[in-house]
Structure 1
Amino acid sequence: MANLLEKENFDHQAVVPCPYQADCSGCQSLGVPYGAQIELKKEQLKQLFRASNLLSSSPIQALSAGPGFLRDRLDFSLEDGRLGLYHKGKREIVDIATCCQLSPELSAWLTEFREFQWPFKKGSIRLRVGPQGQKGVWLDFANVDIKALLDEKTLLRRLQDKAFVEIGQRRKVPFWNGQEYKLRAPELHVWFQTWMGSRPVDLYCQVASFTQPSLRANKVICDVINAWIASFPRSRIIEFGSGIGNLTLPTLAAAESVLACEIDELSLDGLRMTLDHLPSDLQHLKSKIEIHRGDFQKKLTEDFSQFDGVLANPPRSGLMNFLNPLGELSLEKRPPFFIYMSCFPESMVKDLERLQEFGYELRETFIVDQFPQTNHYEVLGLLQRKQS
């Protein structure tokens, strides 16, 4: 992994300015040199490991795509005409016109979007820019406000001239039928991108879909996954929390086969469309993947002994009952390696404790700092089964 570390070097002395530092609750480390932020996050993770008696054969390392200006996905609240994040000391929204977290493309889209005047008291808004610069917006308003927006017509028409629009919890798409605005079923488009080595691969999803927040930072994550999977060539992998396939595609490049497990049907629709739209020279990969839908945190019926490795990217609650079948196998029948990715280290550490009890050793740990200037970070861990 040495080349990866050298490539993703960062400016330890960088300090990112923000005009909202005194009020906005979004960032907790503004004004702190970036290198000090990284060291603090490494120390926090070390303390979690020590408290759980987790042992690692190598020190925690950090990777970064930069100290700011990374995000291609923005989630703001709308309240009484103010669009932004909550105030540090008051229960009100700080109106934010510019943000040091946003990529230049998303920053420009926010500037355009703020020209719109919304007649509603409150709601949630997601802005997104895709890998080709395409603009999207998800409007999550109360039903009465959605109806008013459809009936008013003009505001929605202006917005659709600038971006692809999704509305409501069901992520429906507004369309003009010649007489009035109606809502049709959700649509899948290319809103994100993964990497197979140095090759980008488009991912189909919705503006409202869960993705990593940054295209640039996601490349760092995919580089780690690519390197780890390549070190166990032609492995049979079971993946928990495949989502739209962000880690699935890098894994497919080197694996013998992948069983992708996911509970969210809309995410799996995106993964299926991504597989259908793979470039012609990658179409053969479709024969290497099987997709299962179900709540695998509650019950898993798969036999872990049929796999050489596990790839897990669970929700904040962790793996829960997904790990239970491991305890039913003897050490030599458990998969030789386990890759774990999480943005919630507290639940990850609990799962790593169980994996340690099942005979796995933590071999490498990376913090991928895709949330600079905040207390949050992504963790990637590679575990290997002890020799029986």
Structure 2
Amino acid sequence: MPNFHKFETFDKDLLVKCPYSQDCGGCQRLEIPYGAQIEEKKAELLNLFKGANLPLPNSIKALSAGASHLRDRLDFSLQDGRLGLYRKDRHEVLDIDICAQLSPELQLWLTEFRQIQWPFLKGSFRLRVSPEGRRGVWIDLANIDVKALLDEQNILKKLQTLAFVEIGQRRKVPVWNGSEFKLRDPEHHVWFQSWVGEVPVSLYCQVASFTQPSHKANKIICDVIASWVQKAPSSRVIEFGSGIGNLTFPALSQADSLLACEIDELSLQGLEHSLNHLPPSLGHLKNRVQIYRGDFQKKLTQNFSEFDVILANPPRSGLMNFLNPLQELSLAQRPEYFIYMSCFPESMSRDLVKLNEYGYELQEIYILDQFPQTSHYEVLTLLQRKQT
């Protein structure tokens, strides 16, 4: 397993420069040295735990992949010809042509994308660069503007020479049939990757799919997850909110079996694609996975006593009723380890209170700063059941 302390070698006195720092609402901490930003985030999380009356951890460690240029996925808004993020002082989009958050590959893609003139008053775009450098764009416009875009034809033709294109909430793909554009069902392509040790695993999804924002930072996440699952040899894992499988694969590298629970059908289709296209050296992992589709935030029928590790990466709303089955088990019957990852520490702290009531104690906590210069951060926690 890697030595995570090597990720803490960032320049603590570094100040990232941005020409939009006085106006852009995207970054809240540009004027603060990077090391001080990390300490503020650790203090905020500690105060949140104090406010929830949680037993305090011995320490909160910080992991970082760098202070800038991490993002390989960008979400920008369009308003009256301006493409960017909302301003600090009013609900108006600030036109942005360069951003220190973006990886060099994504910055180049944004520069070329901005050459397109959009004849619409408002909309939103997601730009993405895959691990192999493939470009994608997801266009989200009002239905009337989508029809206008399809009828206009020239913008889409130009855009498709630059990138793979998806349109609308249903992630449809525009296809030219020789006389007009038609929209066909979503397609799964490799837009992200997970890791099994030092072996990358291609993750199939859509441009519009939820993924972590950074390929570089995500490698750190995968290494942490694998190291924690390794604490339970020959473990049986149940994963809540598996999505397209980003945490599934590092967990599988150390587990005997894994039940992946997810409500989104497209995400599970992507996970199945990824399992069917594993590198030959990892082909055996496919036989360790079962998939369960359902709204397990409301109801879960699985018997938690059949598992050794619970792995959770829930949406902002948290675990909700997913934890209810633990009530029906004695302390000794509950899984020994609970791994919880979240970018919304408020709902996480509420869930940790309940987990503490169920006999789980915090063992390790990491802040992964994959949103540098902002107030946001990812939290990874390892809890262990009290010994009976």
TM-score, normalization by structure 1:
0.99
Question: Counterpart of 2:336 in structure 1: which amino acid?
Answer: P
1:1-388 alignment to 2 at 5 Å?
A: 3-388=3-388
How big is each residue's C-alpha offset from its partner over 1:61-85, in whole Å with a ceiling of 9 and x where there is no partner? 0000001110000000001000001
Is the CA contact 1:56–1:363 (under 8 Å) kept in the aligned structure 2? no
Which SS does the other structure have where 1:250 is aligned?
helix
TM-superposed deviation, 1:229: 1.1
Mapped to 1, the partners of 2:150 and 2:126 lie a distance apart of 19
Mapped to 1, the partners of 2:251 and 2:239 lie a distance apart of 9
TM-superposed deviation, 1:90: 1.6
Q: Compare 252-261 and 224-233 and name the one that shifted more.
A: 224-233
Mapped to 1, the partners of 2:56 and 2:378 lie a distance apart of 18
Which SS does the other structure have where 1:348 is aligned?
helix
- Going from structure 1 to structure 2, the CA distance change for 1:168 and 1:195 (only over 3 Å counts) comes to same
Is the CA contact 1:341–1:378 (under 8 Å) kept in the aligned structure 2? yes
Which SS does the other structure have where 1:171 is aligned?
coil
Q: How many residues align?
A: 388
TM-superposed deviation, 1:249: 0.5
Mapped to 2, the partners of 1:308 and 1:277 lie a distance apart of 28
How big is each residue's C-alpha offset from its partner over 1:200-256, in whole Å with a ceiling of 9 and x where there is no partner? 111000000000001011111111111111222210000000000000011111101
TM-superposed deviation, 1:281: 2.2
TM-superposed deviation, 1:148: 1.0
Mapped to 2, the partners of 1:250 and 1:3 lie a distance apart of 16
Flag structure 1 segments of 5+ consecutive residues without an equivalent. none
Q: Compare 5-14 and 164-173 and name the one that shifted more.
A: 5-14
Question: Counterpart of 1:17 in structure 2: which amino acid?
Answer: K
Q: Compare 223-232 and 119-128 and name the one that shifted more.
A: 223-232
Q: Compare 56-65 and 118-127 and name the one that shifted more.
A: 56-65
TM-superposed deviation, 1:9: 2.0
Which SS does the other structure have where 2:332 is aligned?
helix
TM-superposed deviation, 1:50: 1.0
Question: Counterpart of 1:236 in structure 2: which amino acid?
Answer: R
Question: Counterpart of 1:130 in structure 2: which amino acid?
Answer: S
Mapped to 2, the partners of 1:337 and 1:229 lie a distance apart of 8
- Going from structure 1 to structure 2, the CA distance change for 1:2 and 1:138 (only over 3 Å counts) comes to closer
Which SS does the other structure have where 2:229 is aligned?
helix
Mapped to 2, the partners of 1:18 and 1:303 lie a distance apart of 51
Is the CA contact 1:243–1:268 (under 8 Å) kept in the aligned structure 2? yes
Question: Counterpart of 1:87 in structure 2: which amino acid?
Answer: R
How well do the aligned residues superpose, as a CA RMSD in angstroms?
A: 1.0
Is the CA contact 2:73–2:129 (under 8 Å) kept in the aligned structure 1? yes
Flag structure 2 segments of 5+ consecutive residues without an equivalent. none
TM-superposed deviation, 1:42: 0.1
Mapped to 1, the partners of 2:80 and 2:30 lie a distance apart of 27
TM-superposed deviation, 1:7: 4.0
